[in-house]
Amino acid sequence: MVHQSKIEGNPAQRERFVFSAHSQFGVRGIIGDIFAGFRAGRVWRAFAWEETKRRYRRSALGLLWIIIGYVAFVGAVALFFGNFNLATAEQIKTIEQYATHVGLGYAAFALITSNIQDGAALFTNAAAWIKSVSLPYSVYALKNVTRTLVPFGLQLASWFAFALLTGHVFKPVALLTLPAIAIIVFNAVAMQLFFGFLSARYRDVEHMVATILRVLLFMTPILWTYDGTSGVTRVLADFNPITHFVEIFRAPLTGNPPTAANWIFALCSTVVIWGAAILAGAVLRRRLPYLV
Amino acid sequence: MAYIKAVNIKVRFPVLRGSGPNSYGHEAPQGLDDSRLIRNASGAITGVQALDGIGLEAAKGDRWALIGRNGSGKSTFLQVLAGLLPPDEGVVEMSSRPTNLININLGMELEADGRRNIMLRGLAAGWSKKEILARRAEIEEFSGLGPFLSMPVGTLSAGMRMRLNFAIATAFDPEILLLDEWLSAGDVEFQKKAAERMDRFVAAAGIVVIASHGRRLIERVCNRCLWIDAGKARMTGAPKDVLDAYELAMAEEHALQERIAAQ
């Protein structure tokens, strides 16, 4: 379904399939692809699960490794950076609060950045399928996004277990985290498509992304707190969209409503990210089978 | 009513410039006919004209054979018909979604077992879980893989994978089936089963387009033949006539080359 358009024919006939030079150009082509992709839900769900299984096949602990890795990371950070942050941050009074700050921040950060990282390898990894099965290309993006939800869900569940054990108090404002997750996942689809198309054409993108993401971990208030810093660090965090996506997700669960600025920045980023994804798709989609 | 109508299909493979082995610059790769290269104003190669205004019309029950030497555009044409490659010019119109078996090694999860791959390929081809489960026993039986179905597909031999692929692709009685030449790579037993399946297909008035070098397969299955040469249609007709002309031309060319080499 690279470039197929179904057209209504004689009602006595079944749907007709037309592949032509004119049916798949530009913005209409990529938007049609995305809608067709969403409709093929059972395909990307099955493939997402298959890939998750593939990553942990023949491993004794399997998905448990996600939880182990997460707990080890958050535990180590709390151990080594905890006291320093307790001394500087205003809103963090206990080591449990700091662990929550790191744990939730890291889960959201990992969800966002794994979608960028996987996106940069999206179509090159799917090349075998692109060259043999006629599916909307967005199916591969949706498959990847679905797959990244598995580690995120397990990490979130680990944090909930921790919160219950330590007697964390949930306020009603915690529900605001749900629209935040929704908007992060919505953006994940666009990030997959944008970096997928771009890196299919420009192979340096995948390496560039890996380099930038490593730096971004330090530019996002995860290991440190936003109100505990000032000057350049603060400005860099302000201009890092991931800061705001992490904040709208994390703040409600820690009992603080996220600021309007966080939400406005996140929504503006959404428009930019989706715009970039559609532009990249409009320009590169038609040539994709030649690029991968 | 099944039909395919492909008109004036043109495909240019872009040659990306930049680093790496893809940058040929101004030199034509050895052995490639220069007339098929596309150059920009300064003479650098920017693409290859893979298909140059080719067409095909098939009505119900037609079984087309595509013949031609390696690199003539047979597989590219099949990929355009399958909706895998967008044509640069021209239109393909068909009555229903085609099923393709173009590349045997692609479109399989190599670490998943055969049964799981039946499900995945079925879903990717647009069938529902229920439809796939209803056909699964038949696919398993036809593939003849028995206990090997519960092994990772990556551990199967090329022939076994082909049998599984063929079994999945044909199990749903597609109206339009596109096959590349690897079909003739099966063993005798599989060829016989595949031929029987083709007969069932022909009886149901489906359309087959098959790219092949195998004269026996073509003469057994096909009723029309298209000879593709350098991305253009060179001859169309009954399989026997076209194959005879093709083989004669190839023999003449071979003789000519031998004479040149001898001089």
pLDDT in tens, B133-154: 999 999 999 988 999 999 999 8
Q: Per-residue confidence at A194, pLDDT binned at 50, 70, 90?
A: very high
Contacts of A132 in chain B (CB under 8 A): 84, 100, 102-103, 106-107
pLDDT at res. B42: 78
Percentage of chain A surpassing pLDDT 90? 67
Q: What does DSSP say about strands A16-20 and B37-39: parallel, antiparallel, or unpaired?
A: unpaired
Q: Is B95 helix (H, G, I), strand (E, B) or coil?
A: coil
Q: Is A18 helix (H, G, I), strand (E, B) or coil?
A: strand
Q: In what order do the strands lie in the sheet with B99-101?
A: B99-101, B176-179, B207-211, B63-67, B224-229, B232-237
Q: Any idea what the CATH number is for the domain that residue B68 is in?
A: 3.40.50.300
> Per the domain annotation, does B15 fall within a domain?
no
pLDDT at res. B24: 52
Instruction: Read off the amino acid at residue B70.
Output: N
Radius of gyration of chain A (CA): 21
> Per the domain annotation, does A50 fall within a domain?
yes
- In angstroms, the CA B212 to CA B229 distance is 14
Q: Which of B195, B240, B193 is nearest to B217 (CA)?
A: B195
- Asked which of B27-31, B37-41, B143-147 is least confident by mean pLDDT, the reply is B27-31
- Confirm if B67 and B213 have CB atoms less than 8 A apart: yes
Q: What does DSSP say about strands B207-211 and B176-179: parallel, antiparallel, or unpaired?
A: parallel
Tally the domains of chain A: 1
Angle at B196 between CA B195 and CA B198, to 5 degrees: 65
Q: Is B100 helix (H, G, I), strand (E, B) or coil?
A: strand
Nearest to A132 among B93, B102, B119 (CB): B102
Lookup result for tokens 């930038």: A212
- In angstroms, the CA B255 to CA B250 distance is 9
Test the A interface: residue of B11, B17, B109, B180 with most A CBs within 10 Å: B109
Structural domain for A248, as ranges: 41-291
Test the A interface: residue of B106, B127, B168, B178 with most A CBs within 10 Å: B106
Percentage of chain B surpassing pLDDT 70? 91
> Per the domain annotation, does B50 fall within a domain?
no
Structural domain for B109, as ranges: 55-262
> Per the domain annotation, does A199 fall within a domain?
yes
Q: Per-residue confidence at A230, pLDDT binned at 50, 70, 90?
A: confident
> Which chain A residue's Cα is nearest to B165?
A132
Contact partners, residue A64, CB within 8 Å, separation at least 6:
none
Q: Per-residue confidence at A7, pLDDT binned at 50, 70, 90?
A: very low
> Per the domain annotation, does A96 fall within a domain?
yes
| Residue B21 or A46, more confident | A46
Residue A66 pLDDT > 90: yes
**A166 vs chain B: nearest CA distance in angstroms?**
41
Q: In what order do the strands lie in the sheet with B89-94?
A: A4-7, A16-20, B89-94, B4-14, B45-58, B37-39
> Per the domain annotation, does A83 fall within a domain?
yes
CA distances from A155 to A68, A158, A245 (A): 10, 5, 17
Tally the domains of chain B: 1
- Confirm if A222 and A106 have CB atoms less than 8 A apart: yes
Residue A56 pLDDT > 80: yes
Q: Per-residue confidence at B225, pLDDT binned at 50, 70, 90?
A: very high
Test the A interface: residue of B111, B151, B153 with most A CBs within 10 Å: B111
Q: Per-residue confidence at A284, pLDDT binned at 50, 70, 90?
A: very high
Whether the CB of B93 is below 8 Å from some CB of chain A: the reply is yes
> Per the domain annotation, does B88 fall within a domain?
yes
| Residue B40 or B91, more confident | B91
Whether the CB of B113 is below 8 Å from some CB of chain A: the reply is no
pLDDT at res. B192: 83
Whether the CB of B58 is below 8 Å from some CB of chain A: the reply is no
**B28 vs chain A: nearest CA distance in angstroms?**
20
- Confirm if A105 and A220 have CB atoms less than 8 A apart: yes
Residue A232 pLDDT > 50: yes
> Per the domain annotation, does B45 fall within a domain?
no
Span A9-36, pLDDT tens digits = 333 334 567 777 666 778 998 999 999 9
pLDDT at res. B194: 81
ipTM of predicted complex:
0.85
Span A95-143, pLDDT tens digits = 999 999 999 999 999 999 999 999 999 999 999 889 888 899 999 999 9
- Confirm if A192 and A146 have CB atoms less than 8 A apart: no
Lookup result for tokens 């990556």: B154
B83:A4 CB<8 A: yes
Span A245-268, pLDDT tens digits = 999 999 999 988 888 999 999 999
